[in-house]
Amino acid sequence: MKIAIDAMGGDNAPKEIIKGAVDAVNEYESNIILVGDETIIKEELKNYNYNEEKIEVIHTTQIIENEDKPSMAIRKKKDSSMVVATTLVAEKKADAIVSAGNTGALLASGLFILKRIKGIDRPALCTFIPTKKGISILLDAGANAECKSKNLEQFGIMGYIYAKKILKINNPKVGIVNVGSEEGKGNELTKASYELLKEQDINFVGNIEARYINEGDINVIVADGFTGNVVLKLMEGVAMTIFDMLKDVYKKNLKTKISALMIKDDLKNLKANLDYAEYGGAPLVGVNGNLIKAHGSSDSKAIKNAIKQAMECSKENIIEDIKSYL
């Protein structure tokens, strides 16, 4: 299996991206193609021990910056690490691409280079979210700010397949984020999507009130990309706020400081469990190739996890399952 990596994309590129790739080849049965500035990448690789046959470098001269306009960038920067890495997947020279670069440009790369699966109108970003009972998935996490009911219908189908294959859940429960659980609740979009999803041959369980998402009873959380993105970011924000407030409580006096010391490692674990970046990246489901969007601030560990996820997507052949369902 061969994973193409955009070595120049992300806040910590190329250093952390390259380290993540090296860790991945040392840990998993994977081959990596690092795409980016050859001189920099090769210089950086000298710091590590790894099987040199497992990492290939492809030289590119351009970088898509965060400020670049997405579709413009992929049209004008044909020799960018992101475009070239994605093209490797389109040309079947790699099984998947991982990038921590400009989200909009990466979505555009998926759409225009890998192209949509026939029958899918809008691909969706599919993120893991931490819950009390383990991992659920949320889609669309932000690829489409404006959605129609048929888009949510397709998100539900793709999410069902993804959860079944990747989370290994037998008959995953699919629900629409809503203001109440009863049928008929919500806005025009959620009402119409409800009607479409209940006709599908998946385990659609209806609406889920935002309050209960983190309970973990619903495995696949469906939302338009605006709502999904708000949900994802708010979860992160609320968790950060609570841990910051907790830190202030622990700093209060000697007693609380001692209490904090006693529980330090457990709290660290809890925090890690709640950190969705720990679980790898977000695949763009619905395009004709495995594309994983890693968090912009990914460190080597997040990149390694995203590579693992890319390997699983490609091994489980999600795309073929989506095609055959449709």
User: Does 179 participate in binding a second copy (rule CB under 8 A)?
Assistant: yes
How many binding residues for a second copy (CB under 8 A)?
53
Residues in 132-161 at the binding interface with a second copy, rule: CB under 8 A: 132, 142, 145-146
User: Does 70 participate in binding a second copy (rule CB under 8 A)?
Assistant: no
Of 72-80, 184-192, 193-201, 308-316, which segment contacts a second copy by CB under 8 A?
Answer: 184-192
Q: Are 97 and 86 in contact (CB under 8 A)?
A: yes
3-class SS string, the chain: CEEEEECCCCCCCCHHHHHHHHHHHHHCCCEEEEEECHHHHHHHHCCCCCCHHHEEEEECCECCCCCCCHHHHHHHCCCEHHHHHHHHHHCCCCCEEEECCCHHHHHHHHHHHHCECCCCCCCEEEEEEEECCEEEEEECCCCCCCCCHHHHHHHHHHHHHHHHHCCCCCCCCEEEEECCCCCCCCCHHHHHHHHHHCCCCCCEEEEEEHHHHHHCCCCEEECCHHHHHHHHHHHHHHHHHHHHHHHHHHCCCHHHHHHHHHHHHHHHHHHHHHCHHHHCCEEEECECCEEEECCCCCCHHHHHHHHHHHHHHHHHCHHHHHHHHC
User: Does 50 participate in binding a second copy (rule CB under 8 A)?
Assistant: no
Give the residue with the Cβ less far from a second copy, 272 or 326.
Answer: 272
User: Does 249 participate in binding a second copy (rule CB under 8 A)?
Assistant: yes
The least distance separating a second copy from the CB of residue 269, rounded to whole angstroms, comes to: 8
User: Does 87 participate in binding a second copy (rule CB under 8 A)?
Assistant: no
User: Does 65 participate in binding a second copy (rule CB under 8 A)?
Assistant: no
User: Does 214 participate in binding a second copy (rule CB under 8 A)?
Assistant: yes
The least distance separating a second copy from the CB of residue 113, rounded to whole angstroms, comes to: 24
Give the residue with the Cβ less far from a second copy, 27 or 215.
Answer: 215
Give the residue with the Cβ less far from a second copy, 30 or 229.
Answer: 229
The least distance separating a second copy from the CB of residue 266, rounded to whole angstroms, comes to: 5
Q: Are 2 and 95 in contact (CB under 8 A)?
A: yes
CA distance linking residue 18 with residue 81, whole number of Å: 13
The least distance separating a second copy from the CB of residue 111, rounded to whole angstroms, comes to: 18
User: The tokens 């990492």 sit on which residue?
Assistant: 55
Give the residue with the Cβ less far from a second copy, 58 or 177.
Answer: 177
User: Does 263 participate in binding a second copy (rule CB under 8 A)?
Assistant: yes
User: Does 242 participate in binding a second copy (rule CB under 8 A)?
Assistant: yes
Closest alpha carbon to 125 in 260, 225, 262? 225
Give the residue with the Cβ less far from a second copy, 94 or 155.
Answer: 155
Of 10-18, 166-174, 268-276, 294-302, which segment contacts a second copy by CB under 8 A?
Answer: 268-276
User: Does 235 participate in binding a second copy (rule CB under 8 A)?
Assistant: yes
User: Residues interacting with a second copy, by CB under 8 A?
Assistant: 131-132, 142, 145-146, 177, 179, 186-188, 190, 209-215, 225-227, 229-231, 233-242, 244-246, 249-250, 252, 255-256, 258-260, 262-263, 266-267, 269-270, 273-274
